[in-house]
Amino acid sequence: MSFDNTSRQGGGFERQMYNVTDMNIKCADCGAAITELPFKPDPARVDSLRCRDCMRKFRDANPRPRNRY
């Protein structure tokens, strides 16, 4: 499972992706293999990582509160 290398809607931003295949990381929700991440994972916290699809579902179910200020 990998992430898009482009930002939302046409921006020229290239996100650096990290190959984590050798770490054998599995999604905490569905168990799918995670091969790329947009950040260097902390080895002590890899048990809580989610794949792209599960992270999208999590964000949809738990929207961030809007800043009122």
Whether the predicted model's global pTM rises above the 0.85 cut: no
- Inter-residue contact 51 to 27 (CB < 8 Å): yes
Q: Which residue shows structure tokens 């799918």? A: 32
Strands 25-26 and 33-34: antiparallel
* Model confidence at 4: pLDDT above 60: no
| Residues 11-28: tens digit of each pLDDT | 667 889 999 999 999 999
Write down the H helix ranges in 1-69.
52-61
